């Protein structure tokens, strides 16, 4: 009897000792620190999906899953926007060096993950798109004419009115330029090659066309949501 009791006590003690690391309310193993997370899906869902969509598309901000956008913006550009934010938009700075929460390794993991998930080789099929960044001054009056001829037919409805000062107060010139060039396939917005002209066959936008349309839209921009535009230029196509 004594030996049986000793064996039972030994088993009970070993069970208690084995369970010490799993006390109620404690995880079975140490959790990773936020700064140690480099999984792309986790980083994207926690930091990007709210604005860019759960899969990089159909969000209020630019379609990151668009292969044309991925080809248009190089790594240095993506790193700059992720790290420091984008002026003229709601895009904040995410890098710790700029007051955000992400380490340099996490920023690099986001870029590598986007490239792996959404880039495609030769997505432009040999065509050369207008430059990502504006290289020449745009002419807003010519941009108004181009907008009226090439854009207004699809942007008449209130839900598609990109000439609204309230919309333009939330989107910067570079974001407008990126959308005009790369399009937004997630919502049916064509790229610079496939913008039609009054139902006729599409003629690609030139770099100057893009400069001009961005200049025109910028001239309609208000100081902030709910305020009036500082320019009273008429909205074409209305």
The pLDDT-based confidence of 82 (bands split at 50, 70, 90) is very high
- Please tell me if the domain spanning 34-118 has the same topology as the one spanning 140-219: yes
Pairwise pLDDT comparison (222 vs 236), residue with the higher score: 222
| Domains of the chain by residue range | 34-118, 140-219
Instruction: Tell me the pLDDT tens digit for each residue of 180-226.
Output: 999 999 998 999 998 866 555 568 999 999 999 999 999 998 654 44
Q: Which of 33-37, 138-142, 219-223 has the highest mean pLDDT?
A: 138-142
Choose among 178, 189, 79, 71: nearest CA to 132: 178
Fold assignment, 140-219: Cytochrome Bc1 Complex; Chain D, domain 2 (1.10.760)
pLDDT at 27: 54
Tokens describing residue 32: 């990773």
Domain 34-118 has CATH 2.40.110.10: no
Task: Find the radius of gyration of the CA atoms of the chain.
Answer: 26
pLDDT at 223: 53
The residue count for the chain: 238
Identify the burial level of 10 via C-beta atoms within 10 angstroms of its C-beta, where 0-12 means exposed, 13-18 middle and 19 or more buried. Answer: exposed
Residue that the structure tokens 């630019």 belong to: 62
Q: For residues 198 and 149, is the Cβ–Cβ distance under 8 A? A: yes
Averaged confidence pLDDT in the chain: 83
Pairwise pLDDT comparison (32 vs 124), residue with the higher score: 124
DSSP letter for each residue of 25-74: TS-SSPPPPGGG---HHHHHHHHTHHHH-TTSSSSSS--TT-HHHHHHS-
Choose among 65, 92, 210: nearest CA to 146: 210
């Amino acid at each position: 009897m004594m030996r049986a009791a000793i064996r039972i006590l030994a088993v009970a003690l070993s069970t208690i000792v084995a369970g010490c690391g799993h006390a109620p309310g404690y995880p079975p193993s140490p959790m990773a620190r936020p700064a140690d997370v480099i999984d792309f899906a986790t980083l994207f869902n926690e930091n990007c999906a709210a604005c860019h969509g759960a899969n990089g598309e159909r969000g209020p901000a630019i379609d990151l899953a668009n292969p044309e956008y991925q080809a248009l913006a190089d790594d240095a550009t993506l790193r700059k926007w992720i790290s420091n934010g984008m002026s003229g938009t709601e895009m904040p700075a995410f890098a710790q060096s700029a007051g955000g929460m992400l380490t340099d390794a996490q920023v690099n993991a986001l870029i590598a993950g986007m490239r792996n998930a959404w880039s495609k080789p030769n997505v432009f099929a040999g065509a050369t798109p207008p430059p990502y960044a504006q290289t020449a001054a745009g002419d807003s009056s010519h941009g108004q004419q181009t907008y009226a001829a090439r854009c207004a037919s699809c942007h008449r409805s209130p839900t598609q009115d990109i000439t609204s000062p309230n919309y333009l107060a939330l989107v910067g010139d570079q974001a407008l330029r990126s959308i005009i060039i790369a399009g937004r396939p997630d919502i049916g917005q064509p790229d610079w090659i496939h913008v039609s002209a009054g139902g006729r066959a599409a003629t690609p936008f030139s770099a100057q066309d893009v400069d001009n349309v961005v200049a025109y839209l910028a001239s309609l921009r208000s100081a902030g949501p709910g305020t009036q535009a500082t320019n009273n230029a008429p909205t074409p196509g209305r």
